[in-house]
Amino acid sequence: MAAGGFAEAGADLELVGLQKRFPGFTAIEELNLTIPAGSFFALLGPSGCGKTTTLRLVAGLEEVTAGRILIGGKDVTSTKAYQRPVNTVFQSYALFPHMSIIDNVAFGLRRRKIDDAMGKAHEALRLVELDHLAARKPSQLSGGQQQRVALARAIVNRPALLLLDEPLGALDLKLRRQMQLELKSVQEEVGLTFLHVTHDQEEAMTMADTVAVMNKGRIEQLGAPAVLYELPRTVFVANFLGQSNLFSGQVVAENPDSISVDIDGTRIVVPKARAHRTSGHITVGVRPEKLILAREAPVESADNNILGPGRVIDVSFSGVSTQYLIQIPLVGTIVLFAQNMGTGPIVGEGAEVWVSWHVEHGFGLDDEVETGSRFPADTDTATLALQKRHALMSELGED
Amino acid sequence: MLAEAITAPQPRNRRQLPSFGLGKWLLPLYTTLALLFLLIPIAYTFVFSFNDSVKSNISWRGFTFDNWTGVCKAQDVCEAFGNSILIAFVATVAATTLGTMIAIALVRYRFRFRSSISLLLFLPMATPEVVLGAGLAAQFLGAGIPKGLGTIIIAHTMFCISFVVVTVKARVSSIDPALEEAGRDLYGSPAQVFWRITFPLLLPGIVAAALLSFALSFDDFIITNFNSGAATTFPKFVYVAASRGIPAEANVIASAVFILAITLVITTQVSSTLRARRLAAKS
């Protein structure tokens, strides 16, 4: 199919043993990933985790160091960007400033000599409700409008795979929400495969069917947003995707369907089904909104984990909810979100409180608490020399 | 309410510049003198292109259009002018093409000696023209190349390249590389990306560089004089003629070039103002 015609539907993307090394540093260690056709897939991670590099490798804007890229089962690893059935919505939109909006949108169609490029371009502009601005130049449009043009310019080509490189990053919150919904509905309408790169966990969770959390050149966990949130596998995922209260300790008892972990004398029970490991030294956690605040010691029961007493050290009100920081001796500081529903206690700083949660809400992680850098340090002489040279060259080059 | 709004004093929207006695008359006087100083030679050249001169064009002998109508009747002035135009044109095309390629390479690609090349390109601009001219002349002599239009073109191309690279380089670095990436991503082959995206975006820089090259080449005298042999150019003709009286036809050509240049500038200014106003009206 390649760049020949319109893709009838999205194609699946397969990354096999993908690796990308830049001089002196590894952007992607080894990536194996299959994105099924027609899905909305989000690659979520902090800056520098390799997600944008992954996108650029798929688009053909960077060359892979090792591994293969397959689109719709066809190996495209060695093809050039303009030969791949892939289009990108760039972070900076990258609209051609010297062309009108309609010429921007028709650019890809004309390069492939597709009939009625103008008609199809107008149709794409109508989809993003900007057809009335077709004759304008990009500089005469607002940020949100430019973003929609960038989207139209990409989807008009009906690529088998659409890559989105943090396309909503530059928009303000309200516009971003609106665009998230629009993007999602466009994806459902045209049925293409979307690969969306973002560092905004809320954006990834609202829009994507599947989210892959990426860290230091590797995928930490992959799954549906709700699953990732409910059952994070690693400390990184538990903290990057929302907030978590994490406790480390030894498993002291194993029951048929739950385990007990000893946290410096306090026992925390976690269901076996919600723990990735059930023995040894493990980290368990609970989300701040699942915690219940009490001014008196709650009644002990098999269904509840109770921590306390502790002291409230900070209270911050944020409209729908109030965030409490509670210092509990031997356990540490706990974050708790209380919905401002008019029920439950209202406490001030310094109050003595207990924290409890239903056993079913806890989760057990797979890894230990984060330890240092994952990649071996590039400290051999050759690499250091190369790094020095590149630093020097870029320094001289920028004068 | 409404009346109040109308009678309310208008807020001063511009900060008053501090004014003191000296500035009131010294600044206008100084400005007038400076402008006169700049414009008198041009005005002189223009006025004396209408002088009914006989041998020398120094004293006013009466008004005539003969110099303008029969500009090529004078001794070799048109040939010299034609040579200058030819040299400037060829040197501009060559220097602009080569210089643009160098500028793109220097900004977009990383290679060995990249920064040294950047530095070396400044040398021709910093070196005194006499040294450049004499050095080149020695090289042509050593290589046994006969002096003429060809050697002038080579010399002019050489010093124009530096100016082109500097001008175009600034433009290249102002272009977001993502635009070219977007072009490739939208199925543009390398050639299509260059001609449809990179080149149009570079064009203002390239045009500026070409105009600069043309002007530099057209009025260069020192380097030309060293490398021209028997060939003559307009500046060289005027210089040689100065010793025995410059013919009024030279004034005609100088005035014509001036008028052409000024018309070009005014046209561009007016058209860009009009376009800006039209765009503002549309949006």
How close A114 comes to chain B (CA, Å)? 12
Tell me the average pLDDT of chain B.
86
Interface test with A, best of B166, B175, B187, B275 (most A CBs within 10 A): B187
How confident is the model over A315-326, as a mean pLDDT?
88
d(CA A62, CA A13): 17
Give chain A's domains with CATH numbers.
13-229 (3.40.50.300), 243-364 (2.40.50.100)
Per-residue pLDDT band at A383 (split at 50, 70, 90): low
d(CA A197, CA A213): 10
Give yes or no for residue B227 having a pLDDT over 50.
yes
Task: Flag the least confident range among A233-247, A342-356, B3-17.
Answer: B3-17
Q: Where are the beta strands (DSSP E) in A73-179?
A: 74-75, 86-89, 161-165
| Identity of the residue in B114, B181, B188 whose CB atom sits nearest the CB atom of A94 | B181
Give yes or no for residue B2 having a pLDDT over 60.
no
Question: For A395, which residue in chain B has the nearest alpha carbon?
Answer: B115
How close A209 comes to chain B (CA, Å)? 25
**B196 neighbourhood in chain A, CB within 8 Å:** 107
Residue type, position B3, single letter: A
Per-residue pLDDT band at A361 (split at 50, 70, 90): very high
Helix B21-48 and helix B248-282: axis angle, to 10°? 130
C-beta atoms of B114 and A80 within 8 A: no
Question: For A132, which residue in chain B has the nearest alpha carbon?
Answer: B283
C-beta atoms of B279 and A86 within 8 A: no
Reported as a single tens digit per residue, the pLDDT across A68-121 is 999 988 999 999 999 999 999 998 899 999 999 999 999 999 999 998 999 999
CB-side neighbour CA atoms (13 Å) of B136: 28
Higher pLDDT among residues A211 and A7, named by residue: A211
How close B48 comes to chain A (CA, Å)? 46
Tell me the average pLDDT of chain A.
85
C-beta atoms of B200 and A98 within 8 A: yes
Per-residue pLDDT band at B205 (split at 50, 70, 90): very high
C-beta atoms of A111 and B110 within 8 A: no
CA distances from B190 to A93, A111, B185 (A): 20, 12, 11
Percent of chain B topping pLDDT 70: 91
Give yes or no for residue B27 having a pLDDT over 90.
no
Reported as a single tens digit per residue, the pLDDT across B30-81 is 999 999 999 999 998 888 888 887 777 777 888 888 888 877 776 678 889 8
Percent of chain A topping pLDDT 70: 89
B interface with A, Cβ–Cβ below 8 Å:
110, 114-115, 118, 176, 178-179, 181-189, 192-193, 196-197, 200-201, 279, 282-283
Give chain B's domains with CATH numbers.
82-232 (1.10.3720.10)
**A111 neighbourhood in chain B, CB within 8 Å:** 186-189, 192
Burial class (CB in 10 A: 0-12, 13-18, 19+), B97: middle
Give yes or no for residue A168 having a pLDDT over 90.
no
CA distances from B52 to A210, B75, B78 (A): 89, 16, 19
Q: What pLDDT score was predicted for residue B3?
A: 42
Q: What pLDDT score was predicted for residue B174?
A: 92
How close A126 comes to chain B (CA, Å)? 20
Q: What pLDDT score was predicted for residue A368?
A: 62
Reported as a single tens digit per residue, the pLDDT across A3-17 is 445 556 678 899 999
How close B89 comes to chain A (CA, Å)? 28
Reported as a single tens digit per residue, the pLDDT across A287-315 is 999 999 888 888 888 888 998 789 999 99
How confident is the model over A162-182, as a mean pLDDT?
82
Reported as a single tens digit per residue, the pLDDT across A187-210 is 887 788 899 998 888 888 888 899
Tell me: cis bond preceding A329? Omega within 30 of 0 counts: no
Reported as a single tens digit per residue, the pLDDT across A131-141 is 999 999 999 99
- The phi, psi pair for A95, rounded to 5°, reads -75, 145
How close B178 comes to chain A (CA, Å)? 6
C-beta atoms of B181 and A81 within 8 A: yes
Question: For B192, which residue in chain A has the nearest alpha carbon?
Answer: A111
| Residue pairs between chains A and B whose CB atoms are closer than 8 Å | 74
Four-residue CA torsion sign, A111, A114, A116, A119: negative
**B197 neighbourhood in chain A, CB within 8 Å:** 96
d(CA B85, CA B80): 9
Q: What pLDDT score was predicted for residue B282?
A: 63
How close A210 comes to chain B (CA, Å)? 25
C-beta atoms of B185 and A88 within 8 A: yes
Residue written as tokens 């797979």? A366
Question: For B119, which residue in chain A has the nearest alpha carbon?
Answer: A399
Per-residue pLDDT band at A379 (split at 50, 70, 90): low
Per-residue pLDDT band at A372 (split at 50, 70, 90): very low
pTM value is: 0.76
How confident is the model over B131-157, as a mean pLDDT?
92
Dihedral of CA atoms B171, B176, B178, B183 in degrees, nearest 10, equals -40
Give yes or no for residue B15 having a pLDDT over 70.
no
- The phi, psi pair for A301, rounded to 5°, reads -150, 165
**A133 neighbourhood in chain B, CB within 8 Å:** none
Helix A143-155 and helix A117-127: axis angle, to 10°? 130
**B118 neighbourhood in chain A, CB within 8 Å:** 399
**A97 neighbourhood in chain B, CB within 8 Å:** 179, 201
Residue A117: CB atoms within 10 Å: 20
Give yes or no for residue A65 having a pLDDT over 80.
yes
d(CA B162, CA B141): 24
**A169 neighbourhood in chain B, CB within 8 Å:** none
